Amino acid sequence: MRKERERLLKKKRIVVKVGTSSLVHTKTGYINLTKLEKLVRVLTDIKNRGIEVVLVSSGAIGVGRKALGIQGKPDTLAKKQACAAVGQGQLMMIYQKLFAEYGQISAQVLMTKTTILKTLNRTNAENTFEELLKMGVIPIVNENDTVSTEEIEFGDNDNLSAVVAALVHADLLILLSDIDGLYTDDPNQNKDATLIPVVNEIDATLVKMAKGVSSDFGTGGMATKIGAGRIANDSGADMVIANGADFGILNEIMDGKEVGTLFLAHKNPDFNMMDYIEKKTYLQ
């Protein structure tokens, strides 16, 4: 086992982010129940290893859109928010049913940027997470898309999940999407592009490189994922970007297998989440 991967065997509290593309059938956009079932089983089993788990799940808008029979992306904000209101409920209904089959209690936590920026709200959210985890619950987090508009939204769940990782003092953030990890170049354009197994530090060169990688997955591309890595790594959490095509990969990551890209934590003693969110320093 690669030395850097050994640290993954000792994780105590993890945040797993799953994008819409990993939760729906690509061809139809309808929810992939087989995959969702596996996700729930694997997460419950990670919890059974003695590791606390927080899930950040997208899919509200996509699921709601399908339920309401809306073709294509909703064209107004109100429509998008209506889709989220329907979809978030449906998604939670499915998650709670599946988790219950394994005797695992789950909970819904919806957040906006205001939740973090306002001290009282942030403290309340932090306390709630702490209490839920103490109770053995798996919190399922999403942006509160029904009420959030541009000024108060994170906009993508990559950043939201990094903020959640910092808020709950997680020691690992896992981003699952439809790409295997960080490549030296765009793997769709350049056949010689190779997967980078470990990133010691997210520096300016890496940020620049990620900006050049085109991506058609989810809301956030590679650049937002690197931005999320900055928040997570500075807060003291390692981050892994891996392919969510098969959720069994979560077990491989926790077993220290060489999958995806591992970004090593560099705890910044002056870490202040607000700087990252307000000034967007994670994108520089």
Contact residues toward ligand GLU (CB under 6 A) are 19-20, 58-62, 142-143, 145, 156-157, 218-220
Instruction: Collapse the DSSP code of 185 into the 3-class scheme (helix H, G, I; strand E, B; otherwise coil) and give the result.
Output: coil
Report the largest interatomic distance among the alpha carbons of the chain, rounded to a whole angstrom. 50
Tell me the closest approach of the beta carbon of residue 217 to ligand GLU, in angstroms: 9
Considering the complex, state which of residue 59 and residue 181 has its C-beta at the smaller distance from ligand GLU: 59
Rounded to the nearest whole angstrom, what is the least distance from the CB of residue 255 to ligand GLU in the complex?
27
CB of 151 to ligand GLU, least distance (A): 16
Minimum CB separation of residue 240 from ligand GLU in Å reads 18
With respect to ligand GLU, which residue has the nearer C-beta, 29 or 197? 29
How far apart CA 118 and CA 272 sit, in angstroms, is: 13
Residue 124: CB minimum distance to ligand GLU, A: 21
User: Is residue 168 within 8 Å of 130, Cβ to Cβ?
Assistant: yes
Q: Between 219 and 281, name the residue whose CB sits nearer to ligand GLU.
A: 219
Label residue 162 exposed, middle or buried (CB < 10 Å: 0-12, 13-18, 19+). buried
The residue written with tokens 């891996």 in the block is 242
Question: ∠ at Cα 26 (24, 29), nearest 5°?
Answer: 55
CB of 20 to ligand GLU, least distance (A): 5
Q: What is the DSSP string of 67-117?
A: HTT--SS-SSHHHHHHHHHHHHHHHHHHHHHHHHHTT--EEEEEE-HHHHH
Nearer to ligand GLU, 5 or 66 (CB): 66
Question: 170-196: string of b/e by CB count within 10 Å (b at 16+)?
Answer: bbbbbbbbebbbbbeeebeeeeeeeeb
Q: For ligand GLU, which is the closer residue by CB, 106 or 142?
A: 142
Q: Between 219 and 257, whose beta carbon lies closer to ligand GLU?
A: 219
